Chain A
Amino acid sequence: MPGKVNPVMCESMMQVTARVMGNDQAIAISGATGGQFQLNIMMPMMGQTTLESIVLLAKATDAFVDFCMDGLEANEEACNSAVEKSLSMVTSLNPYIGYEKASKLAKEAFKTNKTIRELCTEQNILPADQLNEALDPFSMTEPHA
């Protein structure tokens, strides 16, 4: 598809992590069965495998930071929209209208595909300023005394 940009750095990183987890298993088996009296007889593979894991993780992390992490941008609009559309917004209305009424609102919002804010406004559930205060998502991101 022309113009399609895929999350390739993440895919590369995920392959690295799978490999490292597999390597870990090889080391565990070598530890469990390789130590024979005064010698562990699986040392070259253990050394190679451990170093492979360390180097893969280091290089993958560097590449991930350079080509993905540092350039990440937040899609603020999508974030806001997901919050606004979420039925969970009804939670903060509990102290104002009670659990029963809040549940009904949530179900109606789900059925009608309207947001909690739209329904509250339509049905005059709360005065506008109080509604804005109740549905302020920032206040939901921290504990309040």
Chain B
Amino acid sequence: MAEFRTERDSMGDVQVPAQAYYGAQTQRAVENFPISGWNLPPELIQAMGLVKYACGVANRDLGKLTGTGKNPLNDKQVEAMLASAKEVAAGKYNDQFPIDVFQTGSGTSSNMNCNEVVANRAIEMMQGDRFAAEKPIHPNDHVNMGQSTNDTFPTSIHVAVGTTIHNKLIPALKRFAESLAAKAAEWDKIIKIGRTHLADATPLRLGQEFGGFARQLELSIDRADRAIEAVLELPVGGTAVGSGINTHPEFGGRVAAVLADETGVPFVEAANHFEARMLNEMAWWNVMDSSGQSPRHCSTSPTTSAGLAPGHAAVTTKLKFQTVNQVVLLCLVR
């Protein structure tokens, strides 16, 4: 079997790896952006798959996929497309997303990559030829139906960020907080010297100090929760510029509802779709700033930690523990 297959698009022939699930548009982006060697993170790839699934469900329920369009699908094809998107969401095709992070700023290349993989895998599920030029389940007409990169890609980022904070970061922070609280209780009777201005101050109990650290982690968990709030409103439904051209008025709300149901994170359609893309940057600023920690906290943390570090003898083998703790606690979820 040949190492490459030839695909054709509006710009001409492209050599695509023979067995790839992606097609011409993805391959062009791979060649255009030989920048970092970093691919999109798996959380984002899988979120794109889940968003495609949710969009497919909404389009199916609105009768768009099987209806009066130029190229309607039958019910079996619709179900294959949904199953294919679910496989991408499960991470089965993470290796089929070879485009560099530093690509088109809208993420169009990666969105098309996802459309191609979902369509070709769905064709394969229908016992079709996924390498054929004819696409009975089409990357643009069906998988990307009712979407623009400018709503579906940032929606995927929101879903990836919200679910990753919810599923990975917050549980880790909770464990950390519990561990610190357990040490605080265990060490409540141990006395240590306090340190201020890098010098001895009056005594405190080691348990008191670690109780303070535990509280810092509890506050970090609150900040992580607020960071999720900043990504709950989804741009999907606004399509290219927020006007919702080429999509059903109920589409955004339905997609958000499916995503909320699938993830357990209460995603909703953006209250205002022009804000959701025009002021896209503000939302991001909120995510990173919802900690309430502005950069000045970074400058206070070395002072605090330096003040504590000379008291390191309080804790065996962990000279830097307080230093690290301060930095971590103050900077978490920035």
Contact = CB atoms under 8 A, between A and B. Distances in A.
Contact of A44 (B102, B183, B206, B321): B102
Contacts of A34: 105, 280-281
Interface in A20-38: 20-21, 24, 27-28, 30-32, 34-35, 37-38
B11 interface: no
Interface residues of B, number: 81
Contact of B317 (A5, A42, A46, A69): A5
Interface in B158-195: 160-161, 164-165, 168-169, 171-173, 175-176, 179-180, 183, 186-187, 189-194
A58 B161 CA distance: 12
Interface of B: 38, 40-41, 43-44, 101-107, 110, 150, 153-154, 156-157, 160-161, 164-165, 168-169, 171-173, 175-176, 179-180, 183, 186-187, 189-194, 200-206, 208, 240-242, 274, 277-282, 284-285, 287-288, 298, 311, 313-321, 323-324, 327-328, 331-334
Which secondary structure dominates where chain B touches chain A? helix
Contact of A141 (B169, B203, B279, B316): B203
17 contacts: A10-B319, A13-B324, A27-B285, A40-B277, A40-B284, A52-B41, A54-B164, A55-B41, A55-B164, A61-B176, A61-B328, A72-B318, A74-B187, A75-B314, A82-B314, A137-B203, A138-B205
B319 to A, nearest CB: 6
Given A43-B106, A69-B179, A141 B314 contact: no
A42 B331 contact: no
Interface string A49-86: 01111110111011011001110111110111111001
Contacts of A82: 192-193, 200, 311, 313-314
Contact of B168 (A31, A55, A69, A79): A55
B110 A44 contact: yes
Given A47-B160, A55-B43, A88-B194, 14 more contacts: A14-B327, A27-B288, A31-B284, A35-B282, A39-B106, A48-B44, A51-B43, A57-B332, A61-B169, A74-B190, A74-B206, A74-B315, A75-B314, A81-B313
Interface residues of A, number: 64
A10 B277 CA distance: 39
Which secondary structure dominates where chain A touches chain B? helix
Most A CB contacts (10 A, CB to CB) among B43, B156, B287, B288 go to B288
Contacts of A68: 318, 321
A130 B268 CA distance: 67
A35 B165 CA distance: 24
A7 B321 CA distance: 8
A103 interface: no
B320 A10 contact: yes
Contacts of A38: 150, 240-242, 274, 277-278
